[in-house]
Structure 1
């Protein structure tokens, strides 16, 4: 089983340069009293890759590895049936449905909508399918973003402490799910709007801004942006659309959509 990238989290503790910050800074004042300054609680931000085992839709992602899969929401029916609504970019109907049909974690599926640049499906999960989000929620962590691409799930988490990250890794190992840490950082603030974007969305926005895509007149086309990122134009459009919607919602809160929009 692949556990590459999780070496910093051994049982003896994290490496000093990873988690070496002190939460409290104490100094002795001129009057001899000890003064303690409490820093904001640290948050551990981890970008991880998950695949294999009974992980929900892991087999489908491997079958359509060139596609981008975005989970929209997860529901649980009264009878306990779990389902996911997914948006899929860069895959045909035949490819997607063949992947679902051959996936042991899928009980059934139904097309919801079809657009020129993406497909939307409701997928009923098999009883054996494992979802990571419920366990991470129990550990007090926050799932910031999830995307299926290159045959794997890519997820950004915010953990309250090192132990919760180690516990989630152990849960994945116990279920034969590969858990690989791509990047790891510690921050002393609860989060910003940018933290709610996925790694790929941040990369797309940053590249678009730096290249002049948002300039008037536009200096960089969507086709050029797609070539720069190594993805399709429809994937660029989808990432920009989702990232912009996320930024608007975080900045202005929940807004009423116009009827018919």
Structure 2
């Protein structure tokens, strides 16, 4: 069946770690890398509104060089950077172990990785690969894989959009960094529509992920 692991990785030479530490008000999502000749390019999405601070931090980041803003969208900007002898969050030896990366985003002053592991041997390889490179590795969650990762397919496109925007904009942060009015303005809809979409999306996620054969004793 395999496992789904969520872990926090940190090391001063991990790609974009200095930027993650310098600019805490945004979320960076690792998209993919492309090799061309002797260079390796990394594409990342940055969610938030502190783009000037992000670009200043990237320019001073020793793990990358030659930052280029590729595209800008409401609440999201895509950058391409050249890797500069930086550590990759995924150890090289993991490529033959059947690991699949669901998501790699910044968080807790490090990289938060969520990956599929076919067995516990693959977990041991991943952990050892981090240790050998001196990368701090802390498990946040480890569970048997199942239908949990299919839960997003219960969401409509609008529900998926509003949850993604709300999450990365900081609506669920404590304290909140944006209001429903802010989300409504970015989406071009009413605050009431945002409220309804959020409630319906969260209800779908709860229905898809919680055990349906149990009810709280207080509701029986």
- Relative to the length of structure 1, the TM-score reads 0.57
Question: 1:52, 1:59 within 8 Å by CA — same for their partners in 2?
Answer: no
Aligned residue in 2 for 1:60: 19
Question: 2:91, 2:130 within 8 Å by CA — same for their partners in 1?
Answer: no
The 5 A counterparts of 1:1-261 are 42-77=1-36, 79-132=37-90, 134-187=92-145, 189=146, 192-194=149-151, 227-230=171-174, 231-233=176-178
Q: Distance in 2 between matches of 1:76 and 1:235?
A: 37
Q: Which runs of 5+ in 1 are unaligned?
A: 1-41, 197-203, 209-221, 245-261
Q: Distance in 1 between matches of 2:43 and 2:57?
A: 16
Question: 2:25, 2:50 within 8 Å by CA — same for their partners in 1?
Answer: no
- How many pairs does the alignment contain? 175
Stretches (4+) displaced over 4 A: 189-192, 225-229, 234-238
**CA drift at 1:116:** 4.0
Structure whose alpha-carbon radius of gyration is higher: 1
- Relative to the length of structure 2, the TM-score reads 0.66
Q: Which runs of 5+ in 2 are unaligned?
A: 154-158, 188-196, 202-220
**CA drift at 1:96:** 1.0
Question: 2:3, 2:143 within 8 Å by CA — same for their partners in 1?
Answer: yes
- CA 169–101 in structure 1, closer or farther in 2 if over 3 Å, else same: same
RMSD: 3.5
